[in-house]
Amino acid sequence: MNEVIIDGFSLSIAALVEVARNHVPVRLDPEAERRMRASREVVELAVRKKQIKYGITTGFGKFCNVIISEEDNALLQKNLIMSHACGQGDPFAPEIVRAMMVLRANALAVGNSGVRPLVVERILQLLNADIVPVVPEKGSLGASGDLAPLAHMALVLIGMGEAYLRGTRVAGAVALAEARLQPLTLGPKEGLALINGTQAMTAVGALAVYDALMLYRGATVASALSFQALRGITEALDSRIHEVRRQRGQIDAARDLRRLLEDSLLTTSATETRVQDAYALRCTPQVHGACLAAIQHVWEVVASELNAVTDNPLIFPHSLREGGDILSGGNFHGEPIALALDYLGIAAAELADISERRLERLVNPSLSEGLPAFLTINGGLNSGFMIVQYSAASLVSENKVLAHPASVDSIPSSANQEDHVSMGTIAARKARQIVENARRVVAMETLAACQALDLRAIQLALPTIEHSLSPYTASAYRTVRSVVKFIDRDRTMYPDFDAVVQLLSDSLLPQCSERWCWNPEPVVPLEE
């Protein structure tokens, strides 16, 4: 991807990730400029005619009935940015702020916000110069939008606040000067348009749902490795079982797992002594499929929000005559995103939950179909993977706490003018943390499964396990073993797990040679 065009209508999650993480350049679409100029004319006409319009000629929130003179309007917009920059806590990661900037620019580019094209151009200039505002991660109620986080972002546009300039934290004015950019003087409506929207929660949510899809794929690869290490019974994956359930996610997850396990010599069939596996293996399609369905739903909600106009009031120019309609509404309310990201957190927590149960079966000699206790040679002297399961269990338990929905809470604000809020940014931050924790649990299962497979090769007197694995999982096994070798005696293991986490984060574990059953956008290259 050479560049991303900001037009207000076509931004995808994949493109957002490219700009946020890989610093792909951005450019404003000329047609978007035309739409913004048209809506800007409506705002300027309202100011000239002294019309009483919220946020344009009035104060904000509970002060909506205070009329502001034309000569005070520039100060009104500046005061709005300064007074609302009340964020708390550690800064958001730069990739999140970059995503916020892209989303805010894209929302304004739709042409219903009444800002000059210059405002969007300046945001894009900061992105292309790698100037990233310092934005505290806490302090948003998720309605009226993400006021505090977006205010911190906007501070840098007016030469205030702080920013990372190519990774170094400096004053916002210094960052602009280094990039030879002048601070903006905001006109009527422009300060409000910059901070009134859902772009913080959506930025976090978009990166989280992207990572959740990668998590599902990594967890499915891990489950296929564990399935073979535990000599899983493949009858449970038969397509007929899943078709009669009629749950699309489950059908797709079962098909993904069948593809990954195709031609394996290590899977088994039911016998008189072992008719079926425990749920952690047998019900993997049901659990992973439900999680995949949740990810699909959240993806669709977030993808819609990427191209949404979420500030207030909104400007609708007349097509055939001067002027237009300026309408006050509530598109800044984050409820759609809040509910979806709470759902995403629950789904990611479940992927980790069942992954930890497979890990337990791998390390527990009572459950592992003959593998050495804790996957170690000379147990007793060596503890092997004993505490790995402890660590995974800790992360799973933490996820259970984090998975409590944020969206069921609301605290009135602005003297009860804003009496129901979404807490969507809290939901987003929790979902992101759950996905990160889950990725680590899946990394632990992945490495434990590779260890178990090597021990299985020793048991079966095989020179190597690779030729007994399915082709797809053999490729995954080789990828893991390229960064972490077999653990023949106790050693400090956290660097090993960090290395596998990085493989999962970078989407480097091999994928099915055929496309995954659900692939909404070209999010990662698929190996052929």
Task: Give the residue numbers annotated as catalytic, written as ranges.
Answer: 54
Structure tokens at 478: 């080789």
**Closest by Cα among 18, 176, 154, 171 to 81:** 154
d(CA 167, CA 519): 33
CA atoms within 13 A on the CB side of 52: 5
d(CA 409, CA 339): 11
Look at residue 433 and give its three-state secondary structure.
helix
d(CA 351, CA 522): 23
Contacts of 235 (CB under 8 A, 6+ apart): 269, 270, 276
The sign of the CA dihedral 376, 380, 381, 385 is positive
- What CA dihedral angle connects 55, 61, 63 and 65, to 10 degrees? 60
d(CA 456, CA 303): 44
Side chain identity, residue 412: P
58, β-bridge pairs: 67
Can you spell out the DSSP letters for 347-389?
Answer: HHHHHHHHHHHHHHHHH-TTTSSSPPGGG-SSBTTB-TTHHHH
Can you spell out the DSSP letters for 230-247?
Answer: TT-BGGGG-HHHHHTTT-
Neighbours of 185 (CB within 10 A): 11
Contacts of 476 (CB under 8 A, 6+ apart): 221, 224, 225, 446, 509, 510
Look at residue 324 and give its three-state secondary structure.
strand
The sign of the CA dihedral 267, 291, 351, 519 is positive
Neighbours of 114 (CB within 10 A): 31
DSSP code at position 67: B
CA 413 to chain centre: 28
Side chain identity, residue 481: R
d(CA 376, CA 380): 9
Strand order through the sheet with 131-133: 131-133, 162-165, 168-171
Neighbours of 211 (CB within 10 A): 23
CB-based contact 406:342 (threshold 8 Å): yes
